[in-house]
Amino acid sequence: MRVSIFTKDSSTHDATSLLKTLAINLGFDLAGIAPASKADGFQHLTSWLENGFQGQMDYISKRAPAYQHPESLLPNVRSILMVGYNYNHQLHADSGTVKGKVAKYAHGKDYHEVLWEKLGLLLQEFQKHFPDCKGRGVVDTAPLLERDFARRAGLGWIGKNTMLINKKAGSFMVLGALLLDMELTPDKPFEFDHCGTCTACLRACPTEAFIGPKVLDATKCISYLTIEVKTEIPHELRGKMQDWIFGCDICQDVCPWNKKATPANDWNSWRNPDLELLDLVKLLEMDNASFRAKFKETPLWRRKRKGILRNACIALGNIGNQEHLDALKKAHLEDEPLIKEAAAWAITNIHKRLGISPNPEEC
């Protein structure tokens, strides 16, 4: 029999209210409670994996059973606080140089570090009132179907682009979870889908990564291609990647709910405008030391120099012109095969796109 950890003066309602208040005070924009039971979308995940839509993300397949129930992350888990952290912001004006785009969530410090710290502080503060409570804060590196539990916690619905959408905050949010071995009052699940007949996100994807509403073939997604793929990017998709070098926001940018969404607040304290648009030529000139100095504390560090420069070459091949061929020829001299091959493709693509006849010494 489970022993209650509540004191005489406390109640489930009081604990729930306290936890949410602490979360908002720490800078989270949304907070809701979901019961820690079997994930609603586990069967959808299984089907998605069977279709091979995960591509090179083998880590999802290897730990697939763990997604079935949050008890894989915390024994005796009873409740999950789901939080949303808004990163919606307007971009600065482009200076006119050839730039590569970075997804908005990566315009600053690695959000994993930010959310882990906040969730850790949240648990510590909550345990001051309920010292016997055990908990664990997780972000998206853990096997938890976050969007399922966020919907169950009343934070929003899952849109046709597979993103969680909140009526006020839109979808430019990163999600976190605090798992607790404590019964809390759950919020009412979000039961309605407010996408209606809109298919803007599905139609806007340049690589046609959406098989249908709420079904994403990640192997065609620009975010997957620029972040998860460690090898050469398929040639048939390169020309459709436009100028994205880390992630992609297209399906969110066109969403009507994001046109009127609440802008970020707390997130702005660690936002770095210098990461919004990156000079592609300067990127190709970076050595390992300079790359590390600029990106070590950011999400871009995950793909390391060879991955980002591979992406920069492809972006330059898509939007560059004749004056950028010298930078690409220098990149083609790199020892790293990924960069070398991407630079060769970019040079050829610029020639084809602009109708330029290559010089004999050009690759």
Strand spans (E) along the chain: 30-35, 79-86, 99-102, 135-138, 157-158, 164-165, 173-180, 210-212, 215-216, 244-246, 277-279
- Checking if the pLDDT of 1 tops 50, the result is no
Residues 73-95 pLDDT 10s: 999 999 999 999 999 998 876 76
Domain range for 301 is 200-354
Residues 263-313 pLDDT 10s: 999 999 989 999 999 999 999 999 999 999 999 999 999 999 999 999 999
Of 222, 202, 200, the residue nearest 211 (C-alpha): 202
**The predicted structure's pLDDT at residue 362:** 52
Residues 22 and 171 in one domain: yes
Residues 2-15 pLDDT 10s: 333 334 345 777 99
> Does residue 95 lie within any of the structural domains?
no
Active-site residue identified among 140, 193, 253, 266 = 140
Residues 170 and 208 in one domain: no
Of 337, 266, 279, 212, the residue nearest 89 (C-alpha): 266
Q: Which amino acid is at 193?
A: D
Q: Which amino acid is at 41?
A: G
Rounded mean pLDDT of the chain? 94
**The predicted structure's pLDDT at residue 156:** 98
Residues 242 and 144 in one domain: no
> Does residue 74 lie within any of the structural domains?
yes
Q: Report the first-to-last Cα separation within the chain, whole angstroms.
A: 73
Average of per-residue pLDDT across 113-126:
97
Q: DSSP assignment of 112-164, as one string? A: HHHHHHHHHHHHHHHHHH-TT--EEEE-TTSS--HHHHHHHTTS-EE-TTS-E
Average of per-residue pLDDT across 25-40:
97
Which of these ranges, 10-19, 124-133, 165-174, 335-344, has the smallest mean pLDDT?
A: 10-19
Output the CA angle 345-350-354, nearest 5 degrees: 155
Using the 3D structure, point to which of 180, 213, 238 is the last residue of a domain.
180
Average of per-residue pLDDT across 342-353:
97
Residues 166-193 pLDDT 10s: 999 999 999 999 999 999 999 999 999 9
In the chain, the largest separation of any two C-alpha atoms, in whole Å, equals: 85
Spell out the residues 6+ positions from residue 274 whose beta carbon is closer than 8 angstroms to its own: none
> Does residue 185 lie within any of the structural domains?
no
Distance from CA of residue 130 to its chain's centroid?
Answer: 33
**The predicted structure's pLDDT at residue 12:** 74
**The predicted structure's pLDDT at residue 313:** 98
Of 193, 211, 218, the residue nearest 53 (C-alpha): 218
140 catalytic per annotation = yes
In angstroms, the Cα distances linking 137 to 85, 284, 359 are 14, 38, 57
Model-level pTM? 0.93
Number of domains in the chain: 2
**The predicted structure's pLDDT at residue 361:** 55
Which alpha helices (H) appear in 228-303, and where do they start and end?
A: 235-238, 250-253, 256-259, 280-284, 288-295
Considering the chain, what percentage of its residues have pLDDT values greater than 90? 91
**The predicted structure's pLDDT at residue 158:** 98
Using the 3D structure, point to which of 180, 210, 229 is the last residue of a domain.
180
Residues 151 and 59 in one domain: yes
Residues 151 and 205 in one domain: no
In angstroms, the Cα distances linking 98 to 191, 228, 277 are 44, 24, 9
Residues 233 and 285 in one domain: yes
The better pLDDT of the pair 177, 96 is held by 177
Average of per-residue pLDDT across 148-157:
98
Distance from CA of residue 59 to its chain's centroid?
Answer: 16
Spell out the residues 6+ positions from residue 357 whose beta carbon is closer than 8 angstroms to its own: 351
Residues 126 and 273 in one domain: no
